[in-house]
Chain A
Amino acid sequence: AQTVTQSQPEMSVQEAETVTLSCTYDTSENNYYLFWYKQPPSRQMILVIRQEAYKQQNATENRFSVNFQKAAKSFSLKISDSQLGDTAMYFCAFIYNYGQNFVFGPGTRLSVLP
């Protein structure tokens, strides 16, 4: 079975600090993409960052970066210089089988404190 685990149901961080959200996944596929999506309170889900499994270089997107460890099947998200607007649920996800199935983790609720 293809699964995604996020072991931190809730986290908090002080504004301007750095926080890392963890994600592990299980798949027997070789071709897949990994994602972090953000869902602010009462708002729609938006893409934060994407990583191709065949690329060794970790993806970065402004203050957001990932640490992708393919052998360990680990895909953590680092948020630098946290801002109040980063408060949201964060979902780790991957897609396999040539783009047909997205599997999401249970989410981590991040609160950025002033």
Chain B
Amino acid sequence: DTGVSQNPRHKITKRGQNVTFRCDPISEHNRLYWYRQTLGQGPEFLTYFQNEAQLEKSRLLSDRFSAERPKGSFSTLEIQRTEQGDSAMYLCASSLDGFGANVLTFGAGSRLTVL
């Protein structure tokens, strides 16, 4: 297992286009998180899955954003009708279940640039 994998690493798109990011977590991790990180800031929570169930969504996740985790394995984060304010690094992280096993393992991130 090579850790958390995210693709693409960098996406440049024009305003109004749709983009999709994929995250492959560590295989035995049943929790998967999406965070957004803007330059010089800490990660901001977007959403969280326990297996295939999306258990929580931040108010940052407008209705242009949707995340899925079919079959509890990989996850996708789609942004529709992108805006320049969506430009950021989108981080995926995974962890084991249980309060005591909650160390997040992060992927390298997918950087979105909206022109």
Binding site for B on A (CB under 8 A): 4, 31, 33, 35, 37, 43-47, 50, 91, 93, 95, 98-107, 109
User: Contacts A4-B42, A47-B104, A100-B56 given; 19 further ones with Cβ under 8 A?
Assistant: A33-B99, A33-B102, A35-B103, A44-B106, A45-B43, A45-B91, A47-B103, A93-B42, A95-B99, A95-B102, A99-B97, A99-B102, A100-B48, A100-B55, A104-B44, A106-B41, A107-B40, A107-B41, A107-B42
Give me 25 A-to-B residue pairs in the complex whose CB atoms sit less than 8 angstroms apart, sorted by A's number: A4-B42, A35-B104, A37-B104, A43-B108, A44-B107, A45-B104, A46-B106, A47-B103, A50-B103, A91-B42, A99-B97, A99-B98, A99-B99, A100-B55, A100-B56, A101-B45, A101-B56, A102-B43, A102-B45, A103-B45, A104-B35, A104-B42, A104-B43, A105-B42, A107-B42
Answer whether residue B109 sits at the interface, using C-beta atoms and an 8 A cutoff: yes
| Residue with the greatest number of chain A CB neighbours at <10 A, chosen from B43, B91, B95 | B43
**Complex contacts, A100 vs chain B, CB 8 Å:** 48, 55-56
Question: What 3 A-B pairs are tightest by C-beta distance, nearest first?
Answer: A104-B42, A45-B106, A99-B99
B74 close to A (CB within 8 Å): no
Taking CB atoms, residues of chain B closer than 8 Å to A99 are 31, 95, 97-99, 102
Question: For the complex, is B90 an interface residue (Cβ under 8 Å from A)?
Answer: no
Judged by a CB distance under 8 angstroms, whether B21 is at the interface is: no
Chain B contacts of A109 at CB under 8 A? 40
CA distance A112 to B25 in the complex (A): 32
- Interface members, chain B 16-57 (any A CB < 8 Å): 31, 33, 35, 40-45, 48, 55-56
Instruction: Kindly state the separation between the CA atoms of A33 and B103 in the bound complex, as whole angstroms.
Output: 10
Q: Which residues of B have CB within 8 Å of A107?
A: 40-42
**Interchain CA distance A47-B99 in the complex, whole Å:** 16
- What's the least CB distance linking B44 to chain A, in Å? 8
Q: Determine if B33 and A102 form an interchain contact, defined as CB atoms under 8 angstroms apart.
A: yes
Give Cα distance in the complex from A102 to B34, angstroms.
11
A103 to B33, CA, bound (A): 12
A102 to B91: give the CA distance in the assembly, Å.
13
